[in-house]
Structure 1
Amino acid sequence: MVGILLMTHAPLGQAFIAAVAHVFRGPTERFEAIDVTADQDTNEIHALAKSAIQRLDEGDGVLVITDIKGGTPSNCCNTLAEAGRVEVIAGISLPMLLRAITYRRDTLDVVVEMALTGAQNGAVRVDNRIRVGT
């Protein structure tokens, strides 16, 4: 099973963990979050991420999901990316995360693709305005 690590600006990661627990009616195994606070030392963040990845990887790899490409959480884990073992994607959303968790018994590459598809398909305009002429 692919491990999942959220690297986000505080308190976003813990909020996503709570949302996932709500949707799946309980905690999810091999799923952690590191909430980065303002002015937190980047070496400390990197060390926390490295330790979490080692803890979460039981041989199937780890997907690291961050909130904003180029932000401190993303930048601190980019050097930990290792094709086939640790993949990093940015732009977390709940549809992305739920899709990743749903498919995490597959290979890491499939989990990445499913997460990205969940993000793309999850962003839609909700329009219930009355249309004239329909």
Structure 2
Amino acid sequence: MVGILLLTHAPLGQAFVAACAHVFRGPTERLEAIDVAADQDLAEVQALALQAIARLNDGSGVLVITDVKGGTPANCCNKLHDEGRVEVIAGISLPMLLRAITYRRDSLDVVVEMALAGAQSGAVRVDNRIRVGEN
């Protein structure tokens, strides 16, 4: 099963873990979050991420999801990417994460594609305005 590591600005990662526990009615296996503090050392974050990847990888690989490309958490991912073992996506959303969790018994490549599809289809305009003439 593909492991998932959330590497985000604090306290976003833990909030996503809690949201997943709510949706799936319990803790999600092989899902961890590292919340990066504003003044945290980049080398320390990378070391924590490598330790988490080692825990999460059962041989199926690990998907690392970060919040925003160019931010400190995403910049920590530069040395984590390992083709076939670790893949990185920036721009976390709850639809993305739920889709990744749902498909993580597939290959790492499939999980990445499904997560990206979840992000794209999960962002929609909701129009609840009542229009003239409608009841």
TM over 0.5: yes
- Which residue of structure 2 lines up, in the alignment, with residue 78 of structure 1? 78
- Which residue of structure 2 lines up, in the alignment, with residue 128 of structure 1? 128
Question: What are the within-5 Å matches in structure 2 for residues 91-130 of structure 1?
Answer: 91-130=91-130
RMSD over aligned CA atoms reads 1.0
- Which residue of structure 1 lines up, in the alignment, with residue 88 of structure 2? 88
Instruction: Determine the C-alpha separation between the residues in 1 that align with 2:104 and 2:33.
Output: 16
- Which residue of structure 2 lines up, in the alignment, with residue 40 of structure 1? 40
- Which residue of structure 1 lines up, in the alignment, with residue 28 of structure 2? 28
Instruction: Determine the C-alpha separation between the residues in 1 that align with 2:122 and 2:93.
Output: 8
Q: 4+ runs of 1 displaced by more than 2 Å?
A: 130-134
Instruction: Determine the C-alpha separation between the residues in 2 that align with 1:133 and 1:114.
Output: 40
Per-residue Cα deviation, 1:44-88 (whole angstroms, up to 9, x for no partner)? 000000110111001000000000001000100121101111000
Uncovered stretches (5+) of structure 1, i.e. residues with no partner: none
Instruction: Determine the C-alpha separation between the residues in 2 that align with 1:78 and 1:56.
Output: 19
Instruction: Determine the C-alpha separation between the residues in 1 that align with 2:77 and 2:57.
Output: 15
Instruction: Determine the C-alpha separation between the residues in 2 that align with 1:50 and 1:125.
Output: 38
Instruction: Determine the C-alpha separation between the residues in 1 that align with 2:132 and 2:106.
Output: 46
- Which residue of structure 2 lines up, in the alignment, with residue 62 of structure 1? 62
Instruction: Determine the C-alpha separation between the residues in 1 that align with 2:113 and 2:43.
Output: 30
Letter of the 1:19 partner, please give it: A
SS of 1:88 mapped into structure 2 = strand
Give percent identity, aligned residues only: 81
- Equivalent residue pairs, number: 134
Letter of the 2:3 partner, please give it: G
Q: TM-score, normalised by structure 1?
A: 0.97
SS of 2:27 mapped into structure 1 = coil
Per-residue Cα deviation, 1:16-36 (whole angstroms, up to 9, x for no partner)? 000000000000111100000
